[in-house]
Amino acid sequence: MATQARTLRRIPSTVVLRRIRPFFAGAVTTLIALSILTVYLSPLGYMLVTGLKNKEMITDSKAPIWPALKETFTYEGKEYPLYNVPTEDGRMHTWALIQKTTEQSTFIDPANPEAGPIQWRGRWRILKPVWQLSPRWENFPEAWKDLNLPRLLRNTIAIAAIGAVGTLLSCIVVAYGFSRFRFPAKGFLFMLLISTIILPGFVTLVPTYTVFQRIGWVGSWLPLLVPHFFANAYNVFMLRQFFMTIPKDLDEAAMIDGAGPLRTLISVVLPQAVPALIAVSLLHIVWAWNDYFNPLIYLSTRRDLQPIALGIQSYNALHSAQPHMVQATSLLGLFVPVTIFFLAQRFFMRGIVFTGVEK
């Protein structure tokens, strides 16, 4: 022991600080990350907590933030609330308040009701009630039924899935052409395509609606689906950048084997670009799931064709006096896209950072 103590004394303080510094740096980084994550997820937590309450829990100003009701005790056929009552001996008791007065109240001990009423001097309003965790899980089945969620989910999934297929087909072809072929004014056309990203949607709203109205598409899914079969600048840019990371040596090897451009795309490029394709699909599905404005414009008169974003907004407008039901419906609408994201997040992140293949 003495030898170990002498050895420790020989270690300079700078060496000790150098050894413990990475630990403290990691601890501080983790603490900051957890703090940011807590702040970021706090609205979702509040939504979940509110969705598990009822109107009584929300209107009670003294109720805790979690879903809870005042715990009661049945005495002589009636229910009385429980309170934490301090006594002169310094102890805290959980008693049921059976008679309220200004300066003196009557309680009963739930653990020993045979002892009879207990007189307590003091103002009962300053006492803290006993709260019992009482989540209202029935809010979600009720919202599912009132909202007719199966119909909304069917419509939304159909719109998102068909739109995702159209986006992939059109954007893959355009991105493949910009990344692999040479043609006149290629750079100019690509810059013209990318410049449409900054074009506000409200600029084209009126002429687009006029065209769809004259050809009789208003009141159907066609205005929400057909435009996605003509590509969009953001997804084309993402796929083009990913395709450019795939070595062209693979294309040349396929050409030597007799493969044409279409066969090269299907057999060589697309298998290497699965992360990017998943990223584009997820981005479109989430966008279609949250899209409210376009369905409002084209499907306002067709409730049977409306997606979940429009259905939830209409339901919330009718039940604005019931915030617990509003939050319950919002959570039901979040369930599917959040689940899809967590199941495919590994491929999604790979597609976003454009890892490509190793050269």
* Residue 160 predicted with pLDDT over 90: yes
- Is there a domain that residue 136 lies in? no
Spell out a b/e string for 40-76, using b for 16 or more CB atoms within 10 Å of the CB, else e: eeeeeeebbbbbbbbeebeeeeebeeebbbbbbbeee
CA atoms within 13 A on the CB side of 266: 6
Same domain, 93 and 191: no
Same domain, 34 and 89: no
Backbone angles phi, psi at 83, to 5 degrees: -135, 155
* Residue 261 predicted with pLDDT over 60: yes
* Residue 96 predicted with pLDDT over 80: yes
* Residue 174 predicted with pLDDT over 90: yes
The pLDDT, as a whole number, for residue 321 is 82
* Residue 298 predicted with pLDDT over 60: yes
Same domain, 252 and 328: yes
As a whole-number percent, the residues of the chain with pLDDT over 90 amount to: 23
Same domain, 38 and 172: no
- Is there a domain that residue 254 lies in? yes
Higher pLDDT, 257 or 178: 178
- Is there a domain that residue 143 lies in? no
Total domains in the chain come to 3
- Is there a domain that residue 142 lies in? no
pLDDT average, residue stretch 66-73: 88
Same domain, 347 and 249: yes
Tokens of 216: 């009789």
CATH number at residue 250: 1.10.3720.10
Instruction: Give, to the nearest 10 degrees, the angle between helix 308-318 and helix 149-180.
Output: 140
DSSP 130: P
Range of the domain at 154: 148-352
Same domain, 334 and 216: yes
* Residue 247 predicted with pLDDT over 80: yes
- Is there a domain that residue 220 lies in? yes
Average pLDDT in the chain = 85
Q: What are the tens digits of pLDDT across the range 105-122?
A: 899 889 888 888 888 888
Same domain, 85 and 11: no
- Is there a domain that residue 61 lies in? no
Same domain, 236 and 333: yes
* Residue 9 predicted with pLDDT over 60: no
pLDDT average, residue stretch 152-175: 93
Same domain, 22 and 115: no
Split at pLDDT 50, 70, 90, the class of 173 is very high
The pLDDT, as a whole number, for residue 351 is 57
228-232, 274-278, 289-293, 341-345: lowest mean pLDDT where?
A: 341-345
- Is there a domain that residue 42 lies in? yes
Same domain, 104 and 225: no
Q: What are the tens digits of pLDDT across the range 137-156?
A: 999 999 888 888 899 999 99
Contact 73, 79 (CB under 8 A): yes
Q: What are the tens digits of pLDDT across the range 11-65?
A: 555 655 666 777 777 788 888 988 888 888 888 888 888 888 888 888 887 888 8
Same domain, 105 and 42: no
Same domain, 43 and 120: no
Split at pLDDT 50, 70, 90, the class of 8 is very low
- Is there a domain that residue 59 lies in? no
Split at pLDDT 50, 70, 90, the class of 213 is very high
